[in-house]
A and B are shown apart, each in its own frame.
Chain A
Amino acid sequence: MKRKGHAMRYLGNGSALCAIVLCAIVGCVAPKYVPKSMIPPPIKYCNSTIGHMSGARPWILEGTCCCTPTSKLIEEYHKAGLGIALEDLIKKYKEAGITTDLDHKNCNNCCDHGPHVVKGGKCMATPTMGTSNFEEVISGIFTQKESNGKKKLTAHRP
Chain B
Amino acid sequence: MKARRLMGCCVAFLIVTAAGCARHFSLGPFAQMDYGRSIAPGKQAFQRGDNEKSVDQFKKLKEKQGINYPLYLLFLGRAYMASGDFFDAQKSFLAAEKTLDETLTGAETGINLVVSDPQKIYRGRPEDGIMAHYSNALCFVKDRDYENAIIELKKSLLADKGKKAEQDADFSPVHYLMGISYGEMGLFDDALVALRSVTRCNPECAYGWYEAAKLARAQKNEDEYKRCIDKFRSLCPDSCLNSAPGKDGREEFVILLDCGYLGPPLSGMAGSFKKRKGSYAEKYARVYIDGVCAGRTYQLGDVGYQASTAGGRLMGKVARKVIGTVARQGLSLASFGASGMLTGGGEADMRFWETLPGEIHLFMGVAPPGLHTIRLDFFDYKDRPLERYQQVWHFINLTKGEMPILFMRSVSDIHNQNKKS
Residues of A within 8 A of B (CB): 30-41, 43, 49-51, 104-108, 110-111, 127-131, 133-135, 138-139, 143, 145, 147-148
Q: Which of A32, A36, A40, A108 contacts B83 (CB 8 A)?
A: A108
Inter-chain contact A33/B87, CB cutoff 8 Å = no
Return 29 A-B CB contacts under 8 Å, by A number. Answer: A31-B416, A31-B418, A31-B419, A32-B418, A35-B415, A36-B417, A37-B417, A38-B291, A38-B392, A40-B371, A50-B395, A50-B397, A105-B87, A105-B143, A106-B87, A106-B142, A110-B52, A110-B84, A111-B85, A111-B88, A129-B404, A130-B396, A130-B407, A130-B408, A131-B84, A133-B84, A135-B395, A138-B394, A147-B56
Name which of B85, B86, B406, B416 has the most chain A CB atoms within 10 A of its CB: B85
Cα-based distance from A109 to B417 in the complex (angstroms): 23
The number of residues on chain B lying at the interface, defined by a beta carbon within 8 Å of a beta carbon of chain A, is 40
Does the CB pair B87–A107 fall under 8 Å? yes
Out of B80, B394, B406, B419, which one reaches A135, CB within 8 Å? B394
Q: Are A134 and B395 in contact (CB under 8 A)?
A: yes
Query: Within 8 Å CB of B108, what residues of A?
Result: none
Q: Is B393 on the interface with A (CB-CB < 8 A)? A: yes
Residues from chain B with a CB closer than 8 A to the CB of A38 are 291, 373, 375, 392
**Which of A36, A39, A51 has a CB less than 8 Å from the CB of B397?**
A51
Contacting residues, chain B, for A134 (C-beta < 8 A): 84, 395
Closest to A35 in B: B390
**Docked CA distance A36–B373 (Å):** 11
Residues of B within 8 A of A35 (CB): 387, 390, 392, 415-417
CA distance A88 to B371 in the complex (A): 31
A129, B404: Cα distance in complex, Å: 9
Given contacts A38-B375, A138-B395, 18 further A-B contacts (CB under 8 A): A31-B413, A33-B388, A33-B416, A34-B418, A35-B392, A36-B390, A36-B391, A36-B417, A39-B373, A40-B373, A104-B87, A106-B87, A107-B88, A110-B55, A128-B86, A129-B404, A130-B407, A147-B56
Residues of chain B from 316 to 372 with CB closer than 8 A to chain A in the complex: 371
A131 and B397: CB pair below 8 A? no
